Amino acid sequence: MGKFEIALFALCAAISIAGALVTVGARRPIRSALGLLATILGVAGCYLLLEAQFLAAIQLIVYAGAVVVLFIFVVMLLGSASTSPRDAKSAVPRYIGAGLFLAGSLAALLLILRIGTKVEQVLPPTPAGFGSVEGVGGELFTRYVVPFELAGALLIVAVIGAMAVARGKQPDPTLRPAAEAAGAAPPGASERGATEPAPGGKSAEPHGGA
């Protein structure tokens, strides 16, 4: 790896780490989203340096182009009301936490460097056609076909899980006016974690009209 590549790598890595810090530490959600964008751009740069140009393009199109834009849409739609009062509190504990984490990571890195003397190249050189559409497609559907198909199962679970969590919203009897709650749940049930909706209330009928 030449000096120029190392400088480029340092730049990309710095951009992505700075973006990640902004994502976690920012008080406004929109800044978090833009921090995430910076992280994604930095990682795309790292992919390019690794000669994985197709992956870098996909990273930009899917994550920067689609995912972050979706986040920004949601943030804009919800508006400033979506910021909870707790978010407006002092950010000092967050920075302390981030600093501790950073210090810990640095200490681990230094420890690794202390244990050994030099890092040797053990990875084989990239084969011809690596990182191109053909290269990625060929690997994906021959050698890595099993993990590729399994990733399909992972996506199915993610979709069903998101649906299960989003659709299951039911009113919480403990949050209702006292009179109604008393009729809905037997006395003593509320502090015992009984969380069923009132019979005949706004219970989501999962199958039928939907």
Residues at the contact surface with other proteins, assessed by CB under 8 A? 108, 111-120, 122-124, 144, 146-147, 150-151, 153-154, 156-158, 160-165, 167-174, 185-189, 192-197, 203-208
Query: Minimum distance from CB of 131 to other proteins (Å)?
Result: 17
Q: Which is nearer to other proteins, 79 or 152 (CB)?
A: 152
Residue 65 or 186: the one with the smaller Cβ distance to other proteins is 186
Q: How far apart are CA 68 and CA 35, in angstroms?
A: 10
Structure tokens that stand for 78 in this block = 């919800």
Exposure string over 171-197, b if 16+ CB within 10 A, otherwise e: bebeebeeeebeebbeeeebeeeeeeb
CA distance 67 to 61: 9
Q: Which is nearer to other proteins, 80 or 115 (CB)?
A: 115
Q: Which is nearer to other proteins, 3 or 192 (CB)?
A: 192
Helix (H, G, I), strand (E, B) or coil at 175: helix
Q: How far is the CB of 55 from other proteins (least distance, A)?
A: 15
